[in-house]
Structure 1
Amino acid sequence: MVAPDVKAETMKLMDRRGALEAEMDAIIARLTAPGGPGITGGLVDAEGFPRSDIDIPNVLAQRRRLAELRNDHKDVTNKIDKNLEILHSSKLSRNEQTTSRGSDTLASSHIGLSRSEPMEEDPVTRLPFAIIDEITDGSPAAVDGLQLGDEIVKFGNVEAGDRLQERLMSEAISNEGSQVSLAIIRQGSAMNLTITPRRWHGRGLLGCHFRML
């Protein structure tokens, strides 16, 4: 059976992508620290001499490494996308077969799938669009179970697409005081949670930050 192997590979690729992003973030933080040369900034002073306040060979090495990581990240993401297409196609095929069998059974014994009880959708067949990279203790997000590193597959009605920050904010505001369902991936495992956007002593209605992937 192909799907389980593809699913396992996809989870490993997602872990790999997370590790690449962590290393890229660390390099960017070092290069853009106060007084740092930046990711692409010049390495000479106003008179055209090599800057004496930085380790130029080290900076060049970090920039090369960042470029390599970005290429690797792109390759891994492309592989994930292809695997997700395979998983999605496989899932659709299974659902069509199940729906056909369920319809036959329902006609004779009234036992089968109900529109009010859809089959649980495996979040791995969809691409995470954001990751929690900041969360405040005591915030609604923390209290309701979100953790640093959680990859967001679905937040209420928001899935991958355009204007994600705007849509996430709108979803939180429109559901203030009400539970919002989340589909996430945590340390390689798919999970479903609920969170209630609400007023608290900190900023926003959630108290966490979504970094778009």
Structure 2
Amino acid sequence: MVAPDLKAETMKLMDRRGALEAEMDAIIARLTAPGGPGITGGLVDAEGFPRSDIDIPNVLAQRRRLAELRNDHKDVTNKIDKNLEILHSSKLSRNEQSASRGSDTTASSHIGLSQIEPMEEDPVTRLPFAMIDEITDGSPAAVDGLQLGDEIVKFGNVEAGDRLQERLMSEAISNEDHQVSLAIIRQGSAMNLTITPRRWHGRGLLGCHFRML
């Protein structure tokens, strides 16, 4: 039996993760603004002197804070994933028990199978939040295996929630030249892929468009 407060704990963790993502997005936006130093860019000029056009101590502080937030975000995400595994396992067990009881029901039962109410979906159940509705030939998305119509369940650390476009962009930027894991649904089948956001001859780091569902 799952502890009754496990769902509440998971929802609180999701709220915490959302707050961490909001702070990370704000820092990334500041660091990557036009003329900014970037997340990992150098802080010296062509002659090797500290750049005079930026506040170097502030940039260093923001980068340190971003690293701390990423570590916290990873820890929170791991806790959420573990809780989801427990919740989904418990739900599967209840479904199996319900199916077993239903198979034992005789024709004389007052309650027919058609009268059984469907189980209510847990609020933490993962569902697709976006669909690939445009993809450019030769783009990182196309080369790495994404296809038109793929439904996105998880993109790196991004799942259903608020500010999805902003969070997707932030996830791609912060993982440039690094593999990002994807959970997708393709023609009704769940699949796992990896994609590497990277510079190419086209626009953006992926070369595809996400339509929010």
- Report the TM-score range of the alignment, normalised by the length of the smaller protein: 0.5 to 0.7
> Distance between the aligned counterparts of 1:50 and 1:167, measured in 2?
32
Give the conservation status (yes or no) of the 8 Å contact 2:13–2:76. yes
Query: Judging changes above 3 Å, is the alpha-carbon distance between structure 1 residues 102 and 203 closer, same or farther for their aligned structure 2 residues?
Result: farther
Shift of 1:18: 0.6
Deviations 1:101-150 (A, max 9, x none): 23333543262444997433324133776699999999999999999999
Query: Judging changes above 3 Å, is the alpha-carbon distance between structure 1 residues 42 and 160 closer, same or farther for their aligned structure 2 residues?
Result: same
How many matched pairs?
213
> Distance between the aligned counterparts of 2:131 and 2:88, measured in 1?
22
> Distance between the aligned counterparts of 1:205 and 1:37, measured in 2?
19
Which stretch shifts more, 178-187 or 38-47?
178-187
Give the conservation status (yes or no) of the 8 Å contact 2:27–2:66. yes
Give the conservation status (yes or no) of the 8 Å contact 2:129–2:159. yes
Query: Judging changes above 3 Å, is the alpha-carbon distance between structure 1 residues 60 and 202 closer, same or farther for their aligned structure 2 residues?
Result: closer
Query: Judging changes above 3 Å, is the alpha-carbon distance between structure 1 residues 13 and 115 closer, same or farther for their aligned structure 2 residues?
Result: same
**Structure 1: runs of 5+ lacking an equivalent:** none
Query: In the alignment, which residue of structure 1 is the partner of 2:17?
Result: 17
> Distance between the aligned counterparts of 2:104 and 2:180, measured in 1?
35
Shift of 1:95: 1.3
> Distance between the aligned counterparts of 2:114 and 2:195, measured in 1?
26
More helix per residue: 1 or 2? Answer: 1
Query: Judging changes above 3 Å, is the alpha-carbon distance between structure 1 residues 25 and 102 closer, same or farther for their aligned structure 2 residues?
Result: same
Shift of 1:25: 0.4
Which stretch shifts more, 31-40 or 171-180?
171-180
Query: Judging changes above 3 Å, is the alpha-carbon distance between structure 1 residues 177 and 134 closer, same or farther for their aligned structure 2 residues?
Result: same
Deviations 1:52-71 (A, max 9, x none): 11110000000000011111
Deviations 1:141-180 (A, max 9, x none): 9999999999986999999999999999999999999999
**RMSD (Å) for aligned C-alpha atoms:** 11.5
> Distance between the aligned counterparts of 1:53 and 1:170, measured in 2?
24
> Distance between the aligned counterparts of 2:195 and 2:35, measured in 1?
41
TM-score (normalised: structure 1): 0.58
TM-score (normalised: structure 2): 0.58
Which stretch shifts more, 163-172 or 52-61?
163-172
> Distance between the aligned counterparts of 1:14 and 1:158, measured in 2?
11
**Structure 2: runs of 5+ lacking an equivalent:** none
The percent identity for this pair of structures is: 96
Give the conservation status (yes or no) of the 8 Å contact 2:132–2:151. yes
Deviations 1:178-205 (A, max 9, x none): 9999999999999999999999999999
Query: In the alignment, which residue of structure 2 is the partner of 1:126?
Result: 126
